């Protein structure tokens, strides 16, 4: 799996939560765990990072769709990296084939 955490559980929302519900949950949790308000313990900072990571994924409809496909195990067709990176392996493979005369 590309994702190892249940971001819905991290934010305390259901899988069918609306974008508004996700946003509200994020703001409530981020206020509670933000290092400026909760203190700067290692656990608090880690929780805040986890909350932020979950929100970054679920707030974007395309990232959320990819995430939902991954966690459901539905084998949904992979349509790209959710973080916006591109796989450049095919360029390297093409260059190698051309260098070998093929």
Q: Which domains does the chain have, with CATH numbers?
A: 7-77 (1.10.287.110)
pLDDT per residue as tens digits for the range 3-49: 568 999 999 999 999 999 999 999 999 999 988 887 777 778 889 99
Handedness of CA 38, 44, 49, 53 (dihedral sign): negative
Cβ(79)–Cβ(61) under 8 Å?
A: no
Cβ(67)–Cβ(57) under 8 Å?
A: yes
Q: Mind giving me the DSSP string for 35-84?
A: HHHH---HHHHHHHHHHHHHHHHHTSHHHHHHHHHHHHT--PPP-S-TTS
DSSP letter at 22 equals H
pLDDT per residue as tens digits for the range 37-84: 877 777 788 899 999 999 999 999 999 999 999 888 754 444 444 444
pLDDT score for 86: 39
- The pair of structure tokens assigned to 51 is 């909350």
Cβ(41)–Cβ(81) under 8 Å?
A: no
| Residues near 5 by beta carbon (within 8 Å), at least 6 away in sequence | 50, 53, 54
pLDDT score for 93: 52
- Decide if pLDDT at 96 tops 90: no
């Amino acid at each position: 799996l590309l994702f190892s955490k249940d971001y819905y559980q991290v934010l305390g929302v259901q899988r069918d939560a609306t974008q508004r519900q996700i946003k509200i949950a994020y703001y409530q949790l981020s206020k509670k765990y933000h290092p400026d308000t909760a203190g700067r313990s290692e656990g608090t900072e880690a929780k805040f990072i986890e909350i932020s990571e979950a929100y970054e994924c679920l707030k974007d409809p395309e990232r959320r769709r990819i995430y939902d496909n991954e966690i459901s195990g539905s084998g949904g067709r992979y349509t790209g990296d959710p973080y916006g990176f591109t796989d450049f392996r095919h360029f390297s493979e093409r260059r190698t084939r051309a260098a070998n005369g093929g």
